[in-house]
Structure 1
């Protein structure tokens, strides 16, 4: 990950990211996605973990780094729909006291891992949405 964001105004109101694998093996690729995403200066980043089965300490460190970088630019990082096991891990790491961890529906049609397809219908013009499945390659 690169250094802190410059003090600029947010250019996107919301960016949603669905993560299906979130462990040390895939962190370089995931970190690169977050670097590119943060360069867009979003006001809010929602990380949907509904398709993720595991998270480790390195992934938690990456989330904290993204949170710090967003907070410096007055942005917010939210974790959405972690499974009960991941929710316990986030609670044990006290991450749920730093970041909002919410349950709720995505504005994206599906965060199913492995589809690799964009939603069929276009979102409203003033809202920017995107999906970038990130998986480590063996």
Structure 2
């Protein structure tokens, strides 16, 4: 016997996560969701912060950890649509020098002939994940 077989690489190309709260209070639940998501070995994870109103240092640490774990498997983490306040926080923390931060143009924006800052995938799955903790 040569040892346990490694699981086959996941064919999951893109996972999008919409985050509405990302701070110390919800860090355990958010961390559990990211742990389950990373177990799928996606090629790219996009964290949409358009609905998020607050982010703190603990959340930035979590995003950096997710980034490192993805990079080990040749994956990538992208932050999408942070509001101006969160964008400033990410810039101050220099996260914008480590991770791509993209902003989608508004849906009613006139076409300028330029490529959008982030490409929309042909198929996007939306859903909810419930996280339970046992104590």
TM-score, with structure 2 as normaliser: 0.74
Structure 2 gap ranges (5+): 1-5, 106-120
Three-state SS of the structure 2 residue aligned to 1:51 is coil
Asked if 1:75 corresponds to 2:71, the answer is: no
Partner of 1:27: 27
Structure 1 gap ranges (5+): 1-5, 106-122
Aligned residues: 111
1:66 Cα deviation after fit: 0.0
1:36 Cα deviation after fit: 0.4
Partner of 1:93: 93
Q: Which has the higher contact order (CA 8 A, sep 6+)?
A: 1
Correspondence 1:6-25 to 2 at 5 A: 9-25=9-25
TM-score, with structure 1 as normaliser: 0.72
Contact 1:7–1:73, Cα closer than 8 Å, also in 2: no
Correspondence 1:1-138 to 2 at 5 A: 9-104=9-104, 127=123, 129-132=125-128
1:133 Cα deviation after fit: 6.4
1:10 Cα deviation after fit: 4.4
Decide which structure has the larger Cα Rg and report it: 2
Runs of 4+ in 1 over 4 A off after TM superposition: none
Taking only aligned residues, the RMSD between alpha carbons, in angstroms, comes to 2.5
